[in-house]
Amino acid sequence: MMKSFTHTVMGEFDAAEQLQREAAAIAAETNRPYDLAGAAYSGGWLMLGRGDAAAAAAILEDGFVLAQKHGIRLFVPVLACHLGIAYLEQGLFDRARGVLAEAREEARAVGYTSAVLRSSIYLALATCRLGDVRAAQNMLREARNTARQQGFSGLEAEALFGEAVVTPAYSEESRAAILASLRAAIAIASESGARPLQRKAEAMLTEMLGQGSELT
């Protein structure tokens, strides 16, 4: 399950798919709630990685309900977090904000720092889409600093990319801040092998630089 998750983060979807099939088969055989929730966690993440947010949401909703029903506190926050991301990617911003806020609180309750950070990052993106840019920027800045201090480099890169996304490019100063965030995110993602994040940041950087050349 965790190997599938890692391969998805690195953009190695075929390997992730094979490992996911194995995890799903084990879960089906044992029929243990813990195994089923774990397979939903990695399966939903794989669908997100492949860009199918609707399929991801369907898997994650089932896993989240199961984890809640059986009190599997380890999986409740991460399933809720990824479900919130799936809603966000479908444009369901209110629903995403509610689920991500719940995910963050559940993660805090069990001391799951990485889940707190990831939930905060995507909660900020939902908050921005709902119109509160300043609150989103503050949340992302806090998440980035905490991730850096505690050694979560991948989440630091996600927060940096988030900061670039929510920052309005209305001045040379803000434009420079966006470019700096993107370059830092690319450097960290490249070092850690997080290719999908690296590609997204590189595409946005290329677009920003292109817009700059059009203005000159």
Distance CA 119, CA 108 (A): 10
pTM: predicted TM-score of the whole model, two decimal places: 0.92
Give yes or no for a contact between 179 and 205, defined as CB atoms under 8 angstroms apart. Answer: yes
pLDDT value, residue 149:
97
Res. 213: pLDDT tops 80: no
Average pLDDT over residues 24-32: 93
Report the b/e string of 101-124 with b at 16+ CB within 10 A.
Answer: bbbbebbeeeebebbbbbbbbbbb
pLDDT value, residue 212:
65
Res. 53: pLDDT tops 50: yes
Q: Tokens for 148?
A: 């850096």
Query: Per-residue pLDDT tens for 139-193?
Result: 999 999 999 999 999 999 999 999 999 999 889 999 999 999 999 999 999 999 9
Average pLDDT over residues 63-86: 96
Query: Would you kindly state where each structural domain of the chain is located, as residue ranges?
Result: 157-216
Q: Tokens for 153?
A: 């480099």
Of 6-10, 84-88, 210-214, which range is least confident?
A: 210-214
pLDDT value, residue 216:
38
What is the rounded average pLDDT for all residues in the chain? 93
Task: Say what percent of the chain tops pLDDT 90.
Answer: 83
Phi and psi torsions of 171, nearest 5°: -150, 165
Distance CA 4, CA 208 (A): 33
Determine the straight-line distance between the first and last CA of the chain, rounded to whole angstroms: 50
